[in-house]
Amino acid sequence: IPTSTEDLDQEVQELLPSLPKEEGWLTSGICLYQGFWCPDNLLRNVIWAQKHFQSHDQDIILASFPKCGTTWLKTLIFSIVNRSRYTSSNTPLLTTTPHKLVPFLEIDLFDKTELPVDLIGTTPSMSPRLLSTHIPCSSLPESIKKSNCRVVYICRNPFDVVVSWFHFAIEGKPGKLDEEHFESFFKGQVALGPFWDHVLGYWKESLEKPHKTSFFMYEDLKGDIVSHLKRLAEFIGYPFSIEEETRGVIQEIADLCSLKNLRDLEVNKSGSYKEKFANDSFFRKGEIFSHAIWLQFSDPKVARDEYQSWCWGIDVSWSFP
């Protein structure tokens, strides 16, 4: 096991040329690693996290495919867990971006030149640790699979994911969403793709180990935030008391984390994440264009084909959300 960055970098340099490559979809290059399309620039971090991350029973891991509502779920989980420490007028969410409060394992934490000490030891300095990841279920670090940590997955209907990702990638510049975007998305050759495998990997896990992995839909959260916040809080071990419910604590968290509220905060309107993505690009419209009819298909290929034919029926010159 390489313990220094040089050893690891060398290992990745040797591995990269042997992996199938694609240009990716609205991103830089991607390579096929363990059956998913890993962005070239994250491969090293993913491998390092797989090898060294030490998960603990109290960890709460938020997993998602990009553009499915990750940022929103970060704010909800942070608020649920910290509700006895902060109120909506002094929560760090008012001054710190959600990605800083709930960092990504492979994007934020294992991208340094040294191993992050707090993530590889047997006694973490804080508990619970709120972490997030876009890594598919089958490639999660072994210690996540072995510990009793909780994994919360958020999924969104793929049509809106394509639209959201498109806007995120063009960053407000002129551009047209066309059939090619849908086509490459459906083929699966997108960062962290195939989408279907990502979703169904966690979906199956949530059916097999419901105490460990819980599956949430973006559309369900939007439809009935209060009952889903209750389910979320119970699952992560921070259930709301009857007294809290009557005091309106759940609704208060929902309001604090609403798209409008977060989007209007100065901290989310300015600056950038990883010096690459404008903070405001994570808060756009949050609309639902198509409903989640597709999850009834348990075979990813059937789901993909059905959904693709549904999308082909849509006139792409419509104005998308």
Q: Which residues bind ligand A3P (CB under 6 A)?
A: 64, 66-72, 160, 164, 167, 257-259, 262, 282-286, 321
134 is an active site residue: yes
Q: How far is the CB of 230 from ligand A3P (least distance, A)?
A: 17
Q: How far is the CB of 90 from ligand A3P (least distance, A)?
A: 19
Cβ closer to ligand A3P: 52 or 67?
A: 67
Cβ closer to ligand A3P: 66 or 124?
A: 66
Q: How far is the CB of 91 from ligand A3P (least distance, A)?
A: 14
Cβ closer to ligand A3P: 16 or 265?
A: 265
CA-to-CA dists, residue 25 to 54, 99, 110, 181, angstroms: 32, 23, 24, 7
Cβ closer to ligand A3P: 8 or 193?
A: 193
Q: How far is the CB of 143 from ligand A3P (least distance, A)?
A: 24
Among the listed residues 134, 167, 181, 198, the single catalytic one is: 134
Q: How far is the CB of 135 from ligand A3P (least distance, A)?
A: 14
The token duo for 78 is 């942070």
Cβ closer to ligand A3P: 160 or 197?
A: 160
Q: Which residues are catalytic?
A: 134
